[in-house]
Amino acid sequence: MGRVGVGAVAKEEIIIIGGGIIGITTALELQAAGHGVLVINRGGVGSGCSYGNAGHIAAEHIFPLATPALLSALPGLLLQPNGPVSLRWRYMLGLMPWLVRFILSARPAVVKRSTEAIAGLNAGAVAAYQNLDARFGLDGLLKREGTLVAYAREKNLAGAAREQAALADFDVESALWDGTTLRHFDPALNPRLKGGLYFPNSAHISDPYALTQTLMAHFLKLGGRIETADITHIESSKDCTTICSADQTWQAAKVVIAAGAFSHLLARQLGYKIPLETERGYHLDIPHPSINPRVPTTFFEKRFVATPMHHTQTAVLRLAGRVEFGGLDAKMTEKQALALVPLGQELLPDLRGDYRHTRATETVTHSPPNATPGGIRPWMGFRPTLPDSLPVMGPAPGHANIYFCFGHQHLGLTQAAVSAQLMLDVIEGRAAVLDIHPFRADRF
């Protein structure tokens, strides 16, 4: 494709492009199995949306984003000021091809296939993290305390009973609580809530950034290597793949593209048109909160999540759940994150203080933010989403030495460890425990 010759470049065994939670767990599994692995990441390991997630290992989230119910609610959600979903209207033309595919993915047959595939992947999610913890140690970051969805309206609580039945078909255990039981479980929550749906077998990570750093440390200890570079070019021949940044070139026998929201740009250079779109996800961290929920809690009506966390021994309340469609280049909309504070106070009435006009000393996107002690910390990062809510995983259809592992939408943290196990099986030529056919790159 017109690149200059690479000369005497040392050939790596495996290069993984991407150092988020997907890339680093895959790298660790491959390195632990005896493979030589080099990770190349745009910035610091785990500094993108792997830092900014809600911390859930949300095994119960088995339904795709595109459903008839969501499509009917979407216009109203988009029109809400500072609502859970927003759109930069200048981006609408660019979004349209993906949006059409998203609408088509809400057809019942597609929803059924996607649900089955997500459920299969999520079924092994917590066990995969327990496996990592047993082999390497996760420094107490893995918390198996369950997760909760809280409801403010009786009709939505009735809907939760129907969802509970649907989840039971996929062996997802849950408990439906009335308001009294909910208040007994967590007195910090608003006493006006009508009830909740509790998932005892789900888990969370108390510091997602620390998790990637811990996994990276294990990877390096086993002999893995990490370099920082923005990969701008990739081309592949029968026996070798060449990848380039602005000032450096690498060659590898095998390459795994796990670069999150930037993955489809690299795949396109290899001839693959993968309809990946970027959800610009927002969160807000409140250090030293006056109150925290007992477990990660989703406020159903307000469509956000409150997660108790600890960052370097500091208690933090993370409020997450705002999504904006606007591409990879636009600056963050700070009010998207700040709008979460009054919602957090509605869920947790004893969350004291007027945070609405507080600003962090530095508003940071795509990386861990800095703030003065006690200051709130707005954040925005890119979540890679396919129309059917399934990731792209497995070998590239037309390249024997290229593998894909990206597009895990809101479930990157949830599915990272189990995806890494699957990628190890695929790269080593073994039959994977889970059928990866639904995740193939040429399904579109």
* Blockwise average pLDDT, block size 10, the chain, 444 residues: 54 97 98 97 91 95 95 86 86 94 96 98 97 97 97 97 96 98 98 98 96 97 96 92 96 97 96 96 92 97 95 89 92 89 95 55 40 68 96 96 97 98 96 93 94
pLDDT (0 to 100) of residue 184? 98
pLDDT (0 to 100) of residue 371? 43
List, in order of start, the domains of the chain with CATH numbers. Answer: 1-66+105-142+204-276+387-444 (3.50.50.60), 67-92+143-203+277-385 (3.30.9.10)
- pTM for the predicted model, two decimal places: 0.93
Cβ–Cβ < 8 Å for 394, 251: no
pLDDT (0 to 100) of residue 353? 58
pLDDT (0 to 100) of residue 118? 98
pLDDT (0 to 100) of residue 377? 84
- Give the Cα-Cα-Cα angle 230, 236, 240 (nearest 5 degrees): 100
Pairing type for strands 377-385 and 392-395 reads: unpaired
pLDDT (0 to 100) of residue 223? 96
pLDDT (0 to 100) of residue 8? 63
pLDDT (0 to 100) of residue 373? 39
